[in-house]
Structure 1
C-alpha cells in the first residue's frame, strides 16, 4: 500500500514538477574482479529490473538531472558523466503495470516521452548503492549477465557500451574506474574487459607510458605469487589535459 500511496503522490505532483515528455536514463559502469558491471534497480513488486533514471524537472538542466540521479543512487559527487544518445522511438514501451494504480492524474506517464542516455564511470569500491522509493534493491550486475530489463533499457546499455568502447581510442578511462594505485596488468585487464578482447602486453604498456599520464611509484603490489609489479597512479593534471585534448590510442 505504501508503494501505491508514494506513486500516487508522485503522479499527482508530476506534471507540476517535471517535463512530462523528457527523461534521463543512466548507465553506471564499475569495474570489479576483472568484470565490467552496471548498476541496476529491482522494483519492489514484480521483480522488474531497470536502469537508474527519472524525469527532468522543469527548473533543471538536463545534465543537472543526470547528476542528481547519479548522486541519489551512488552517493558520489564529481562523477565522470557523458551524454551519448537520445532515445525517441514513438513505439517505446510504457509502464503498463503501473496503469492500474496511477489514476487519472498519472496518464501523462503513459504518453510518449524521449529519454536522454548518459553513461557514468565510477570506482566500484566508493559506491554505496541506494534504491529509490519504487525499488527494493540497487546492485551491481555483470555486463554479460544482465537480466531482462524494462522498456528499451537493454538497448540503452548496448548503446552505452558501444560508445564507451569507441571513446577508448580518444580518452583514457582508468582514472574513473580503478583505485588510486594500480598495476599495469590491472590497467590492461580493465581495457581488455571493456573491449572484450586480448591486448598485447608490451604494446599496451608502451602506449600507456608514451602518453605520460602515469606516474610509477616506488611501491610494489604485495601478496602475489610472482614478482610483484610496480604500482602506478595517474598524474591528475596531465590526465585532465589528456581528456580535454583527446588522444589516439589505436586499440
Structure 2
C-alpha cells in the first residue's frame, strides 16, 4: 500500500484496529561524546521532529504497544521501556497537527477519529548509544540523535514530553543507580560523574560524588588505568551487575544531589 493510501486508511478506519483517544510515545536517551541525547524522527508529511509514537491495539497491553511501536518506528528491539507519566492536558495540539497532515497530503477525512482529543502514555529508556542502530520507518525520512539541551523544532508538545522525561530521570538519580545502559562496559570515575552532571545540568563536587557512589558498592575498580592522560591516569571501573540490580530494586539510600 502506497504511503498516501496508508495514511488515508489510518485516518478513516484506524479506530477499528486501535483504541480511540489514547497513544504511546517513547523517549529514548543515549549518552555520547559527553552529551545526553534523545532519539527523534522526522516525518515525511509534516514539519518538525517527533518522538517515536503510535497507537494501542484493541487486544494489546500498553507496555506491549510501546515495545511494538518503538520497534516499528525505529527498528530497535530488546529495549526495556519504563512508563513514567500520562499526558492528558485538554489543550494538546494533536488535532491541529492531524488536520494539517491531511491538508498537506490533499486528503479529506472529516469526522476522523484522529481529530479526537488524545491522551498519551509516556515511556522512557536508557540505551547504550554505541550498541543500537536506529533507522526510520516508512512514515519518516530520518531517525537521528539530538542533544537533549539543543532540540530541533519539534512537533506538537513533544518538547514538553522530553522535558518531563528528563525531570523524571533527574528525580530517579536520588534513588536509583544509572549508567549500566549509558556507559561502556568499563569507564572512569570522571566519566561517570560527567554522566550525572550532564543529566542534572550542573557541576558536582568530585570528592563528595566519589564518596557517595563508592559507598553504594555497585562499582568494581579494575587494575587498568586509562591511557593517554596527561596527569595521573584514572582507574577504570565496571558495574557489579548483581549489586547494581539490588540497588535498582531497593534504592541507594542517599541523595546524589
SS of the aligned residue for 1:31 comes to strand
Taking the TM superposition and a 5 Å limit, the aligned residue runs for 1:76-155 are 76-77=77-78, 79-93=79-93, 94=95, 95-100=98-103, 101=105, 102-104=107-109, 107-155=112-160
SS of the aligned residue for 1:151 comes to coil
Aligned to 2:45: 45
Native 8 Å contact 1:80 1:176 kept in 2: no
Aligned to 1:19: 19
SS of the aligned residue for 2:112 comes to helix
Q: Shift in Å at residue 40 of structure 1? A: 0.6
Aligned to 1:215: 220
Gaps of 5+ in 1: none
Taking the TM superposition and a 5 Å limit, the aligned residue runs for 1:203-242 are 203-242=208-247
Native 8 Å contact 1:11 1:106 kept in 2: no
- Cα separation, 2, equivalents of 1:193 and 1:106: 45
Q: Shift in Å at residue 91 of structure 1? A: 2.2
SS of the aligned residue for 1:176 comes to coil
Gaps of 5+ in 2: none
SS of the aligned residue for 1:130 comes to coil
- Cα separation, 1, equivalents of 2:121 and 2:135: 22
Normalised by the size of structure 1, how large is the TM-score?
0.93
Normalised by the size of structure 2, how large is the TM-score?
0.91
Native 8 Å contact 2:12 2:113 kept in 1: no
- Cα separation, 2, equivalents of 1:4 and 1:81: 31
Aligned to 2:192: 187
Native 8 Å contact 1:50 1:150 kept in 2: yes
- Cα separation, 1, equivalents of 2:176 and 2:245: 10
- Please, which of 154, 163, 171 is the counterpart of residue 168 of structure 2? 163
- Cα separation, 2, equivalents of 1:223 and 1:3: 52
SS of the aligned residue for 1:225 comes to coil
- Cα separation, 1, equivalents of 2:48 and 2:3: 15
What's the Cα RMSD here? 1.9
- Cα separation, 1, equivalents of 2:175 and 2:111: 43
- Cα separation, 2, equivalents of 1:205 and 1:80: 28
Q: Shift in Å at residue 198 of structure 1? A: 0.6
- Cα separation, 1, equivalents of 2:134 and 2:187: 24
SS of the aligned residue for 2:176 comes to coil
2:33 paired with 1:30: no
